[in-house]
Amino acid sequence: MPAIQRLVRGLKRVVKRWAPRTYEVAWKTADPVRKRVRRILWSRFFTREIRNRRLDALFGGYCGGETSSRFPDSGAFATQSMQYDELDRLFDPARGGVAITPSDVLVDVGCGKGRVLNFWLHQGLTNRIVGLELDPDVASTTAARLRSYPNVVVEAGDAIERLPPDGTLFFLFNPFDRPVWERFKAALEERCRAGSRPRLLYYNTMFVDVFERDSAWRVTGLAARTFCPAALIEYVG
């Protein structure tokens, strides 16, 4: 039992024993509120999960859950799936997110089971879409599931080595540790010196300081109301 839960139960026992009338009044007052909060939380959870599974099914199978990395020595974190309602906010400029243009080449770095790829397709986007995934087994499953979409490519291997030169908008759900972020930034800068101007939508911004401390990059925190913080990172030279 979590420590906070043990503390609350302990306080309830003390009040009930030494101030039973206070306990009775407080409990009768708080109980309807507590039950309403619980109903709201459970309702939102199930509504979200139902939508996740419905949209996953449209694209060939469930994409949720978390899978431990088989390559921790490479700096790769576990494979986690985004919630579709979070993606709604992240890619809606009216809600503080990032706009996708018709000319963007979309790249999901650490695409995992491909829920972000599903989301882009469900938006009706015909842009070129690239998923990069270190784990070859996960990548092959995702590629097979989306093989009927000619604008989607899923590649297995080190994302830094496989960065598509035409990529313009990169999505990253914090897929790797700080040393790999440093390498990733250096690889992007090589392309920037050749004239590329990529945008990065970074969700769960654990290592955003890698870019913040370099004046060649502009980091803008997104106003989108998401569970984890998100930022748009742009090369300004």
Q: What is the pTM of this model?
A: 0.80
Find tokens 């490519």 and name the residue.
Answer: 153
Q: Which residues contact 155 (CB under 8 A, 6 or more apart)?
A: 130, 131, 132, 133, 139, 162
Question: 26-40, 56-70, 94-108: which has the minimum mean pLDDT?
Answer: 26-40
In 3D, which of 188, 150, 153, 156 has the Cα closest to residue 169?
188
What's the pLDDT score for residue 26?
Answer: 63
Q: Could you tell me which residues are beta bridge partners of residue 219? A: 233
**pLDDT per position as a tens digit, 95-112:** 999 999 999 999 999 999
- Looking at residue 33, its pLDDT comes to 59
DSSP label of 131: E
Output DSSP code: residue 199: E
pLDDT at 2: 53
Comparing CA positions, the residue from 149, 214, 155 lying closest to residue 182 is: 214
The CATH number corresponding to 66-235 among 3.30.470.10, 3.40.50.300, 3.90.10.10, 3.40.50.150 equals: 3.40.50.150
Q: Is the pLDDT of residue 3 over 80?
A: no
pLDDT of residue 141: 95
